[in-house]
Amino acid sequence: MPPVSRGFLGRRRDAADAARLPPGQYLVEDFPVLTAGPTPHSPLDEWSLTIHGAVDEPKSWTWEEFRALETETFTVDIHCVTKWSKLGTTWTGVPLDALLEEIGTEADYLTAWSDGGYTTNLAVEDVSDGRAWIVHTFEGEPLEVEHGGPARLLVPALYLWKSAKWVRGLSFTEEDEPGFWEAAGYHNHGDPWREQRYWSD
């Protein structure tokens, strides 16, 4: 039993919102920015998305080709390991399932990599069957660069560091290879409902 903080009342929220908050998270209305380095600014005419590694057919899309792919618009809650959660965020993007279908892979893992050198590792099962998208639109507007625009991965069931901003590629691997934060003390899987924040969780 944790010690009671003398005189601490806290700010309760209504039960419906509280049920949507994973343990240790608090609700925000704005959209905080967390990035380990500078924000990269890539011109769209130099942008591409590449899927490679342990795949049947590596493939690359230019921005125009990527934007021509069929999209989904969906509303999800998002959870950052630094403890804020944002409920009911609406995004538009390409479901990862559609991309996976095009390249074909038996691999169990992938590393998403981004402009600026960021990487994060994911199990394929965590990004398939409607669990992940590459999004380019947030609340009906082009995704702002500090939030990962022009396009970022979005895996809402995991802490947000798994949703690589400025994503430029997915590299499929046979073995699970820790990414940037995963090698720096953060949990390999990152399920907010199991509060998998750090290595020790």
Partner 1 sequence: MRETIEETAHARTLALDVPGWPGHRAGQHLDVRLTAEDGYQAERSYSIASAPELDAVELTVELVDDGEVSPYLIEEVIPGDVIEVRGPVGGHFTWSVDDGRVLLIGGGSGLVPLMAMLRHRAARASTVEARLLASARSEPDALYRREIETLRPQEGLAVDWTYTRATPAGWKGFARRVDAEMLAAVGPGPSAGARVFVCGPTPFVESVSDLLVDAGYDPASIHAERFGPTGG
Q: Which residues contribute to the site for partner 1 (CB under 8 A)?
A: 2-12, 24, 26, 28-41, 82-84, 116-117, 146, 180-181, 184-185, 198
DSSP H helices, the chain, are 15-19, 63-67, 96-103, 124-127
Nearer to partner 1, 40 or 58 (CB): 40
Nearer to partner 1, 10 or 140 (CB): 10
Question: At closest approach, how far in Å is the CB of 176 from partner 1?
Answer: 19
Nearer to partner 1, 123 or 145 (CB): 145
Beta strands in the chain (DSSP E): 26-27, 48-53, 59-62, 72-79, 84-95, 109-114, 119-123, 133-138, 141-142, 152-154, 167-173
Question: At closest approach, how far in Å is the CB of 5 from partner 1?
Answer: 4
Closest Cα partner for 57 from 102, 12, 94? 102
Closest Cα partner for 164 from 19, 6, 35, 54? 35
**Length reported for the chain:** 201
What phi and psi, each to the nearest 5 degrees, are found at residue 190? Answer: 80, 45
Question: At closest approach, how far in Å is the CB of 81 from partner 1?
Answer: 9
The token duo for 133 is 């998208």
Question: At closest approach, how far in Å is the CB of 22 from partner 1?
Answer: 11
Report the alpha-carbon distance of residue 156 to residue 154 in Å, rounded.
Answer: 6
Nearer to partner 1, 115 or 126 (CB): 115
Question: At closest approach, how far in Å is the CB of 109 from partner 1?
Answer: 22
Nearer to partner 1, 67 or 83 (CB): 83
